[in-house]
Structure 1
Amino acid sequence: METIITIGREFGSGGREIGELVAKKCGIKCYDKELIARAAKESGFCEEMIETHDERPTNSFMYNLVMDTYSFGYNSSSFVDMPISHKVFLAQFDAIKNLAKEGPCVIVGRCADYALSDFHNVVNVFITGDEEDKIARIRARFADITSDDKARDMMNKKDKQRRSYYNYYSSKKWGHCSSYDLTINSSALGIETSADFIVDFVKRFEESKRG
């Protein structure tokens, strides 16, 4: 395995579980919440702060400020004055690049496909799912979500948050098929088979690169 796999996902689609299974089948590491610890270690920020601002949306004006600052580095005066949420984005942005330089892995969410747009050994995947299945998965995961309506509200809120974050920080559209190499409906295949499908796709991707 030579490829880095990024996974975008709708809330409740099983994207994290699929990412973990793909990593296990390929014998590589999967980074989801683990990315928070890595970004904290490399940036000097505390994990609680990074988790609080993890995948939070911004606006287009602040996006331009963040990326301009990124080009000058963390020691610039602009970075010192920057809101915490944007410092967190830059910390995760760098952590993702550093992980990719260490070798093949699976990275879930956090605009990883955008962060790695200059890397040629990347397959970008998006996981969607049928609403009924996503609601059932959310209710099974969260004990305090006691009705379908509550699960649906949570799902819509999380997806709106992820969409805003992705659309502002990347040049693509969250969930749009043109933004990814592969889009899978986990309801059609199930978690295990979805993971197998991704692994097979990556193998074929690597074969095509070798000619």
Structure 2
Amino acid sequence: MACKTVITIGRQYGSGGREIGEKLAAELGVKCYDKELLERAAKESGLCRELFENHDEKPTNSFLYSLVMDTYSGGYTSSAFTDMPINHKIFLAQFNAIRKIAEEGACVIVGRCADYALADFPNLVSVFIHGDMECKVARIASEYQVSSAKAKEMIIKTDKRRASYYNYYSDKRWGDVSGYSLSVNSSVLGIDGTVRLLKDYVALREEKK
């Protein structure tokens, strides 16, 4: 039976969230959107992709959710969008792309406040992947060939940035288990074990519905 669920994945840096998302999508036979989301948003908004990469999951200093919703209904040609600061345009374009992608069918979307953008979506499973610090440090140190100290510094810095971005744009707290359908420690089951767990969870949820 074809998957009917849209899965969003929030993740701590070094927890393997992106790899888990890619493998889960492959198991379910659906598309996975991570950096691909930036390309989609850039193409649909007409903005340069480099702008999205430079502002990717980075917090801003000034934003009102009501402005997003007002502009979302007006589209990219509205005067509100034209007059909006570039960081606001970037967020709105990603928000819009996420909504359109979810409307097209089942998929996996990694990061970028996707669970918040799709909070009213009926077939949503929102997941947060976290991990033990020693496992995350080992993963990052190996992947980027850096020392354990440097890896830990990268983890703390990246997670702080992601939390600031998420907490600012959404009405929830990044990593708060009450805000997600499921929160999983990938250090316990490993990457493949976590993928299997999520696949089973999605199947059972669809069966129940």
TM norm structure 1 = 0.93
| Structure 1, unaligned runs of 5 or more | none
SS at match of 1:8: strand
In 2, the alpha carbon distance for the partners of 1:3 and 1:159 equals 27
TM-fit CA distance, 1:36: 0.9
In 1, the alpha carbon distance for the partners of 2:135 and 2:189 equals 12
TM-fit CA distance, 1:74: 2.8
Give the equivalent residue in structure 1 for 2:207: 207
What is the correspondence of 1:10-25 to structure 2 with a 5 Å cutoff?
Answer: 10-25=12-27
In 2, the alpha carbon distance for the partners of 1:176 and 1:149 equals 26
User: What is the letter of the counterpart of residue 120 of structure 1?
Assistant: P
CA change 1:63–1:154 in 2 (3 A) is farther
What is the correspondence of 1:97-112 to structure 2 with a 5 Å cutoff?
Answer: 97-112=99-114
In 2, the alpha carbon distance for the partners of 1:2 and 1:67 equals 26
> CA contact under 8 A between 1:28 and 1:105: conserved in structure 2?
yes
Give the equivalent residue in structure 1 for 2:189: 189
Superposition RMSD in Å = 1.4
In 2, the alpha carbon distance for the partners of 1:84 and 1:12 equals 29
In 2, the alpha carbon distance for the partners of 1:150 and 1:93 equals 33
Aligned length: 206
User: What is the letter of the counterpart of residue 92 of structure 2?
Assistant: L
> CA contact under 8 A between 1:63 and 1:168: conserved in structure 2?
no
In 2, the alpha carbon distance for the partners of 1:89 and 1:79 equals 11
Identical aligned residues as a percent: 61
In 1, the alpha carbon distance for the partners of 2:142 and 2:195 equals 21
Give the equivalent residue in structure 2 for 1:180: 180
User: What is the letter of the counterpart of residue 150 of structure 1?
Assistant: K
Give the equivalent residue in structure 2 for 1:53: 55
Give the equivalent residue in structure 1 for 2:95: 93
Give the equivalent residue in structure 1 for 2:142: 140
TM-fit CA distance, 1:39: 0.7
Give the equivalent residue in structure 2 for 1:131: 133
CA change 1:71–1:102 in 2 (3 A) is closer
In 2, the alpha carbon distance for the partners of 1:4 and 1:189 equals 23
User: What is the letter of the counterpart of residue 195 of structure 1?
Assistant: V
User: What is the letter of the counterpart of residue 23 of structure 2?
Assistant: L
SS at match of 1:12: coil
